[in-house]
Amino acid sequence: MAAMLKLSLSYLSRSKIQNGFIALLILLSTLLVSTAVMILANTGNQFRDMHNRTNGSHQILTFEKGLNDPQAVHDWWASQDGVEVSSLLTYRALAGIAFNGMDIPNIYLYMISTPSPPWVVDELIFSKGTPEAAPKQGSVWIPTSMANAYDISVGDTVGFKTGSTALHLKVSAIVVDVPYGAPFTNTARIWMNPLDYHHDVQSLAGTDHHMMGIHFDDYSSNSRYWERYTLEAGGPFLETKMEFEGISSFYLIINQIVGFIMIFLGVVMLAIALITIGFTISDAILANYKTIGILKSLGLTSAKTIGTYVIQYLLLSLIAIIPGLAFSVWASKFIINISVSSLRVGNSDMSVEGIGSAMLVGVFLFALILLFVVLYARKARQIQPVQAIRYGMSETDHTRLARRMNSPLASLIGFTRLPVAAVLGFRHLLKNTKSSILMLLLTTIASSVLVLGYVLLTSITGIVQTSPKWGYDNANIAAVVVNKSTFPKDELKQRLQEDSRIKNVGWQGNITGVLHPDSSADMQGQSTSLALSVLDGSYQELGFETLQGRNPQQENEIAIGVSVARTLNKEPGDFLELYIEGEKRTFLITGIYQAIANMSISGRITTAAMSAIHPNFGDFDAVFINLNDPMQANQVAEELNDQFKDSASVVTQKTLLDSVYAEAAAVLIYPMSLIGLLFLLVTFIIIFSTCRISIRKESRTYGIYQSIGMTSRRIRVSVAMGVAALSAIGAILGILVGVYLLPILLEMVLAGYGIVQLPLILHWGGIGLFACISMIAAALGSWFSSRVIHETSPRMLVIE
């Protein structure tokens, strides 16, 4: 045992840098895998815990169209067993705020008259500020999502636009408001003092609206309650209903994307780490072949020889895995706190679950490393002392290596055909095929990770270029109606018709359709309600796209979201039965589209379809405007916003999308950067280690090269050139993997959110630049590993 321990310590001390890098590689593998496990373990937990803590709504009903009596609906739901309802909240809608000298038009606000406690459903949790029964006069409570997006703090004064003027109120508290507090949203509930609401908001032109939240003891039974409501109320619910899936989706999507990417790449990194350890042991055995043969001839058994490597990597694993687990707890907290910051209370870190799972990952990783060490170290059993002393390797390996170096491929690369530096670099790779394959695999993966991160971030930040593929329009300007009761629709129509800069216009309304019971039997607990878009205009002209078929053009036609098509097994050409405002209608499905809004549980119909039900239908929520010259979008939007700001918010499409998705990109950049940096560091470490091993094996050869006149710098450049050429191939493969393969895996996650074909923006110049970063890491790894050639004299290299 003493001899084994002494040999293990000698191996550790003799190759300090290499063993240090191996320990760092194990640490990084542990960090990435355990962090991924913890993120996945916490995906949804933070939201579910806060939803349970606040007794959050499963559905939110808003009454804006006058089609149902709010009090009657509230009373019916309040009388049901197994259901809890919030107070009937009174509100007015506003758009835009002024804060810190900035004009922020694209935020839509429900100004709510705060009811008296207790709150049975959707209890507000105070993140910052003093908990009170209601805001004091002159102050408001705002949600964490709004505070985080615009860096608003308690004590700040915010101007809420009421048309030509602004209502200035002080922020006295920041609250967690689960239904309207998700990240990446531009809608918020502002909680006002009832006296302020009566004096400052109710005095504005327009009428009050109402909303209420419903919490089910068993959410899966909600469809039975709605069937009973339809029977007892004498008709279906015709106002707007927000489902639990829509409430929760944006809380969960980032963690699921990040967790999925990290667990996949973590497993890849773990596999690379284990292969690297195996190669390191194999090459170490080969490098010490003669020494091991001598020791075996002196009586050291094969089991003890294997034991020396087991002890060596047992110590390295203990040194690396424990801090790796500790760092993973910090990293997972950091990522989780960013991705669900709107659920964070105060400045305290959110509790992170899954530490036990991470510990199991550490134990599993430790056992796996020792298993691989034993499997690879068993090669030491085959060492025959005589062959080891004569060849420095087994006779079989000696013959195989000679055959490889004299193969037709190798003979094509001769000193008379190519520069000496190129020949040396190629022969370095050819003679160490296993390590060369590992380097190729590693640079491919590192490049693919960097490319994926770059493509994903540019696709989100540049979403205005691909908005139709996300389910949005492609119009230049959008005018969102804020106060329908005062909105001068005819005046805006005339204004748009008279403006020669405007190319075409589309008026959009939003209603709710209910699937026919026969169709909804296969919905498997999902909502039977569809968010229907009604357009007075051409879907085609406004840029709405479909994956299959086309958008509707006639009264009896409909295009449906992919989630509806998948659940009901529908295709273009099939028929779909819907209840719209209580009337049954049969539609021909003309197209299927994807949309992240409403998770693709939606449909598109024409105003002709609504006119058949409502002859005077004119309940429009937005106006989409295309210009003859898109460069004039900012100017036209400002002019229209100034004229109609009392009842509408007019912004460019870029402003509309950037306000939502810029935050998503900001959240994604941290975990993607962390993963990219880890893979670059791993690339450097592994290539350093493998090159250092192969250089030590070839020390005598390099000593001979130096003795005949080659400088150490020229030899080092040759080795680095060979590795750089190999990594260039890896970078090209990484581009293909990062652009075409990894997004397919992401689509598996996003399919649940209504995106089955990830819209990517490919800037090939940037993609090539990011792919080349792995080449730089690989070349640097090989260059630094070859310092031993420069630091050792030719005589010592030959002696070694």
d(CA 577, CA 560): 12
pLDDT score of 225 more than 60: yes
Q: Which helix (H) or strand (E) holds 658?
A: helix 653-697
Q: What is the pLDDT at residue 393? A: 46
Q: Identify which has the larger pLDDT, 779 or 400.
A: 779
Contact 510, 671 (CB under 8 A): no
Q: How far apart are CA 53 and CA 103, in angstroms?
A: 35
How far is CA 86 from its chain centroid? 33
Structure tokens at 276: 């690297």
How far is it, in rounded angstroms, from Cα 682 to Cα 690? 12
Please state, in angstroms and rounded to a whole number, the distance separating the CA atoms of residues 284 and 273. 16
Alpha helix (H) residue ranges in 67-133 = 70-78
* Structure confidence at residue 734 (pLDDT): 92
Do 754 and 471 touch, CB atoms closer than 8 A?
yes
Q: How does residue 340 score in pLDDT terms, banded at 50, 70 and 90? A: confident
572: preceding bond cis by omega (within 30 degrees): no
619 Cβ neighbours under 8 A, 6+ residues apart? 65, 484, 509, 511
Query: pTM (2 decimals)?
Result: 0.78
Tell me the C-alpha distance between 376 and 641, whole Å: 71
- Number of Cβ within 10 Å of residue 583's Cβ equals 12
707: CB partners within 8 A, 6+ apart: 794, 798
Average pLDDT, the chain: 81
Among 780, 789, 20, residue whose Cα is nearest residue 439: 780
Please say whether the dihedral angle defined by the alpha carbons of residues 463, 468, 472 and 476, taken in this order, is positive or negative. positive
**What's the pLDDT tens digit per position in 534-568?**
999 899 999 999 999 999 999 999 999 999 998 88
Average pLDDT over residues 134-157: 90
What average pLDDT does this structure show over 398-424?
A: 55
Which pLDDT does position 294 carry in this prediction? 59
Between 360-369, 518-527, 668-677, 784-793, the lowest mean confidence (pLDDT) is in 518-527
| Mean predicted confidence (pLDDT) in 618-636 | 89
Q: For residue 184, report the phi and psi dihedrals to the nearest 5 degrees.
A: 60, 35
- Phi and psi, residue 789, nearest 5°: -65, -40
Band (173; pLDDT cuts 50, 70, 90): very high
Residue 381 has pLDDT above 60, yes or no: no
Q: Which amino acid is at 612?
A: A
- Rounded-to-integer distance, Cα 771 and Cα 454, Å: 10
pLDDT digits (tens, 9 = 90+) for 696-729: 767 777 777 777 777 778 878 888 888 888 889 9
